[in-house]
A and B are shown apart, each in its own frame.
Chain A
Amino acid sequence: MTAHVAVVGASLAGLRAAEQLRAAGHTGPITVLGAEPHLPYNRPPLSKELLSEPGAPSPADLHAKVAFRRRASVADVDFRLGLPVVEADLTQGRLSLEDGSVVTFDGLVAATGLRPRRLNLPGPSAGRHVLRTLDDCVGLRGALRPDADVVVIGAGFIGCEVAATALKLGCRVTVVDPLGAPMQRVLGPSPAAAVQRHHEAAGIRFVIGRSIVGFLGTTAVTGVELDDGSTLDADVVVEAVGSIPNTEWLAGNEGPDLSDGILCDNLLRGHGAERFVAVGDVARFPNPLFDEVPRRVEHWSIPTDTAKRAAATLTADLSGAEPDPSPFAPIPSFWSDQLDLRFQSFGSPALADEVRVEEGDLERPADGVLVTYHRRSTHVGTVAINLPPARQRELRRAFDALVAVAA
């Protein structure tokens, strides 16, 4: 099989796709094209350990700490870094890069992930940060000086992690969220409110139910203005208000549905084109574990799971074989570290209509809490806070019944 596979996006999903193409028996050339100048690296530490790394490390120093191990099987894979793909022609099998060069392909893997959404509000831009890349991390790290006033906009997981790390670094931290208590969309209202009280007791201030209407200051941000007319001082603003899928490079094609990421079938085949699969955060696929609705899943476990299946599908499609038809039903899982709390989630808590506290006391989350999430009486998610890792296997196993039903 000498077909050439191009992988666009050189992060976790792109790397795993290359490795899994080899594991699936694809022996032809593979080219991985990435917009960032770095070889694939791990993002979760960017809001945690790496953000509080002492000294003044360069991006290269930090990269060395979080670069992914690459399997020996991808030693011959051509990584072309630092140049975004600006256009793809799926019928001709052609990619155009920013410098005008062209790469042709027989099979295509889309692994372009997400970028942070920015607030389009009046005011200076200096002092405003987002966090997705190593370079973002280096920039934000330098700004988080002890005693700095930090305003984090958005109380999702990344916002809360940044707030916790900034507090640890000695900053005064306020988190503003118009919609609800921290991580409420996933945790549900009462666990989220309990986590808010826990974080407040540690010293993080929350302003919930207010939005930002503008940034104050002339050359650099000195504060933010809220929709009730009040203001907050800020030397540093972190915008953690969600993400936008990187799909513009595919926009010239008729077939694909790019309405929210790349719409795929359950075998990760991109809609509307042949020999085209999508993996990682950018892929929107149905998971029969829950229902038929295609969704994007922004968890670290998903690039590895989707890459494995997508690579098998693409390898089969390229050689004219029938791909494995069995349902793809990965158990989503993620973790998050904030202050003295480690959250561990399995399944899709955000789908739930009912939340049950099974163990522990929400008022003392650090002592260990287990919460389960149900939709129409079916168990769809679990969140453990500070439970021993030895219990993960059992918590994950609870979903095996759903996997069996899905199959």
Chain B
Amino acid sequence: MKVTVDMSLCQDHGQCAIASPAVFQMNDEGKLVYEGEPDDSLRDEVEEAADVCPVQAIFIEG
């Protein structure tokens, strides 16, 4: 599974990091960092992270 975040949209709401902490984290500067090719076993929580992003900046392929 491939995950991309459109960083021009992302407003660092951090909701994704609550839904899927294994894939999305907020770093010390408050900016989003994420794993681009998470394991397929994380699909459910990655879908959930994409659902809860207020600006719908998270895209999933594959």
Which residues in A have some Cβ–Cβ distance to B below 8 Å? 16, 19, 42, 44-45, 66, 68-69, 71, 300-301, 304, 335, 388-390, 392-393, 396
**Alpha-carbon gap, A390 to B31, bound state (A):** 8
Flag B21-62 by CB within 8 Å of A: 1 or 0 each.
Answer: 100001110100000000000000001001110111011100
Write out the residue numbers on chain B whose beta carbons fall within 8 Å of the beta carbon of A44. Answer: 54
For the complex with contacts A71-B47, A304-B51, 10 further pairs of A-B residues with Cβ separation under 8 Å are: A42-B54, A69-B56, A304-B52, A335-B54, A388-B30, A389-B13, A390-B30, A392-B17, A392-B26, A396-B18
**Alpha-carbon gap, A38 to B62, bound state (A):** 26
Write out the residue numbers on chain A whose beta carbons fall within 8 Å of the beta carbon of B58. Answer: 69
Which residues in B have some Cβ–Cβ distance to A below 8 Å? 12-15, 17-18, 21, 26-28, 30, 47, 50-52, 54-56, 58-60
A300 close to B54 (CB less than 8 A): yes
A85 to chain B, nearest CB (A): 25
B21 to chain A, nearest CB (A): 8
B56 close to A66 (CB less than 8 A): yes
A393 close to B17 (CB less than 8 A): yes
Given contacts A300-B54, A335-B54, A389-B14, contact A69 B30 (CB under 8 A): no
A69 close to B50 (CB less than 8 A): yes
Write out the residue numbers on chain A whose beta carbons fall within 8 Å of the beta carbon of B60. Answer: 69
B12 close to A389 (CB less than 8 A): yes
Contact of B59 among A69, A300, A304, A396 (CB under 8 A): A69
Contact of B56 among A16, A68, A390 (CB under 8 A): A68
**Alpha-carbon gap, A338 to B27, bound state (A):** 24
Write out the residue numbers on chain A whose beta carbons fall within 8 Å of the beta carbon of B28. Answer: 390
A68 to chain B, nearest CB (A): 6
Write out the residue numbers on chain A whose beta carbons fall within 8 Å of the beta carbon of B26. Answer: 388-390, 392
Write out the residue numbers on chain A whose beta carbons fall within 8 Å of the beta carbon of B15. Answer: 392
26 examples of A-B residue contacts, CB within 8 angstroms: A16-B51, A19-B51, A42-B54, A45-B55, A68-B56, A69-B50, A69-B56, A69-B58, A69-B59, A69-B60, A71-B47, A304-B51, A335-B54, A388-B26, A389-B12, A389-B17, A389-B26, A389-B30, A390-B27, A390-B28, A390-B30, A392-B15, A392-B26, A393-B17, A393-B18, A393-B21
Write out the residue numbers on chain A whose beta carbons fall within 8 Å of the beta carbon of B47. Answer: 71
B56 close to A42 (CB less than 8 A): yes
Write out the residue numbers on chain A whose beta carbons fall within 8 Å of the beta carbon of B56. Answer: 42, 66, 68-69
A253 to chain B, nearest CB (A): 31
**Alpha-carbon gap, A301 to B19, bound state (A):** 12
A137 to chain B, nearest CB (A): 16
**Alpha-carbon gap, A71 to B51, bound state (A):** 9
**Alpha-carbon gap, A323 to B15, bound state (A):** 28
**Alpha-carbon gap, A299 to B28, bound state (A):** 28
**Alpha-carbon gap, A393 to B19, bound state (A):** 10
Question: Which of A69, A300, A392: most chain B CB closer than 10 A?
Answer: A69
B49 to chain A, nearest CB (A): 11
Contact of A392 among B14, B27, B51 (CB under 8 A): B14
7 smallest CB-CB distances across A and B, nearest first, come from A389-B14, A390-B26, A388-B30, A392-B14, A389-B12, A389-B26, A390-B30
A305 to chain B, nearest CB (A): 10
B54 to chain A, nearest CB (A): 6
Write out the residue numbers on chain B whose beta carbons fall within 8 Å of the beta carbon of A16. Answer: 51
Nearest chain-B residue to A301 (Cβ)? B52
A220 to chain B, nearest CB (A): 35
Write out the residue numbers on chain B whose beta carbons fall within 8 Å of the beta carbon of A45. Answer: 55
Nearest chain-A residue to B58 (Cβ)? A69
Write out the residue numbers on chain B whose beta carbons fall within 8 Å of the beta carbon of A304. Answer: 51-52
Nearest chain-A residue to B27 (Cβ)? A390
Write out the residue numbers on chain A whose beta carbons fall within 8 Å of the beta carbon of B13. Answer: 335, 389
A344 to chain B, nearest CB (A): 8
Write out the residue numbers on chain B whose beta carbons fall within 8 Å of the beta carbon of A388. Answer: 26, 30
**Alpha-carbon gap, A156 to B60, bound state (A):** 35
Nearest chain-A residue to B32 (Cβ)? A389
Nearest chain-A residue to B26 (Cβ)? A390
A221 to chain B, nearest CB (A): 33
**Alpha-carbon gap, A390 to B26, bound state (A):** 5
Write out the residue numbers on chain A whose beta carbons fall within 8 Å of the beta carbon of B12. Answer: 389
